[in-house]
Structure 1
């Protein structure tokens, strides 16, 4: 089994407990990071006629929900959101979570109708997710997406799990429209460590695997996280790689002593 398939199977195994572990390990602060990612993307994006958004490595659907919430908040209409992930387990969780969220939102916005028949109610429930589509697929092969069709692409904490990063970035460049926006949220590698980095390193290398292992009962999966950060690109190197595929970095911001990085790029 190749390395990429091993990573995919690992996520299949931890999918049922992934959201719970993530909220505990991040103390919920990743919600603010995702919110700012959406806000900055909408500031740069044109999205005339409604945005076409692709969320790569969508996992359990967190970023898709953030796109929906913030589009409404910032008055940006959405034409469609497509989520792609290579893990069937993660997509199963995403499907259920999105159905619950979207149908709940539709119910809140709908006028009461005591005369609604069971058949009408059933049809409404089926149409709750008409603006969201989920596909099984990898970042390096977005064959189901037409070239130059996306206004925004996001990948949140998934790029370091892609073995062939250069192939994935080429695909992002292919499917983005001219002036389209790429949003990357990721745990990037530090080029030089200071004292604070060493302190945060103790958390990611020692405490995080322990807590994640207890919640998921899969210590190996959460031991992988700090290893994947150490083997990933620095923010500077990622910026250089994006430039090679015609995506110019316009915004970079680090969070929590540089543990997480937000990068916004525009396709030239």
Structure 2
């Protein structure tokens, strides 16, 4: 089995406990991160009459899609279509049960089932780190977004500093998180994968450089929880 297929199977295995584990491991703060991300992205569209086409990539059980819908209603923005895309069939089954008024498609981030310049917004929350061909995914995102379209990325990034905050985040990620996540999911290996994938991931500066090379300009950046989680809002050139 190829490495990417192993990662997809891992998410199939932990799908039933995925939402519960996320709430506990993030102390519920991930909800706030998603809300802020959607608000910043929607604020890029001044025309309230525009009917937005949105696709959420690596959508998991659909939490970010719910946030898109709620924030659009609050801000008076119209969503014409919202589609969740994920390679994990088990995640999509749970998402469809949770959200009836959205469409879900099984597909990978590197081969999206959309036409060129079809979407106004693309989002991916805590998923791009699991895409092994990341630069190919950036190219796909650029392909399906229209000019001036918005890309929202929420992701765990490797802190660039070596100070006390880095030590605290490492202790939580490598010691606390695998134990709690493993207990909830009965799959300790999946939650040992998480800190190792963050450690092997790129820093904020390298992340921004990759987006620039793919044709995106950063319009907003923020970090949360000692720099473990980062938010990037980028506009396609």
Q: TM-score, normalised by structure 1?
A: 0.86
Q: Distance in 1 between matches of 2:10 and 2:166?
A: 27
1:70 aligns with 2:71: yes
Deviation at 1:264, TM superposition (A): 0.5
* C-alpha separation in 2, matches of 1:233 and 1:197: 15
1:139 aligns to 2:109 (yes or no): yes
Identify the residue that residue 199 of structure 1 maps to in structure 2. 168
Q: How many residues align?
A: 236
Task: Kindly provide the CA deviation profile for residues 69-127 of structure 1, in whole angstroms up to 9, marking residues without a partner as x.
Answer: 0000011010010110000011011111113xxxxxxxxxxxxxxxxxxxxxxxxxxxx
CA distance in 1: counterparts of 2:136 and 2:94, whole angstroms: 27
Offset of residue 45 of structure 1? 2.7
Superposed displacement of residue 133, structure 1: 1.1
Looking at structure 1, the residues matched to 64 and 45 of structure 2 have their Cα atoms a distance apart, in angstroms, of 17
- 235, 245, 250: which one pairs with 2:219? 250
Cα deviation for residue 262 of structure 1 reads 0.4
Q: Check whether the contact 1:182–1:265 (CA below 8 A) recurs between aligned residues.
A: yes
Residues 189-198 or 174-183, more deviating:
189-198
- Is the 2:119–2:144 contact (alpha carbons within 8 Å) kept by the matching residues of 1? yes
The 3-state SS of whatever aligns with 1:8 is helix
Aligned-pair CA distance for 1:231: 1.2
Is the 8 Å Cα contact of residues 145 and 236 (structure 2) preserved in structure 1? Answer: yes
> What CA distance in whole angstroms lies between the structure 2 residues aligned with 1:244 and 1:167?
12
For 2:210, the equivalent position in structure 1 comes to 241
- Decide whether aligned partners of structure 1 residues 46 and 137 sit closer, same or farther in structure 2, where only a CA change above 3 A counts: farther
Instruction: State the 4+ residue runs in structure 1 displaced beyond 6 angstroms.
Output: none
For structure 1, the 5+ residue unaligned runs are 100-128
Cα root mean square deviation, aligned: 1.0
> Contact 1:45–1:152 (CA<8 Å) still a contact in 2?
no
Query: Residues 1-268 of structure 1 correspond to what in structure 2 (within 5 A)?
Result: 1-46=1-46, 48-99=49-100, 129=101, 132-142=102-112, 144-268=113-237
Q: Which has the larger radius of gyration?
A: 1
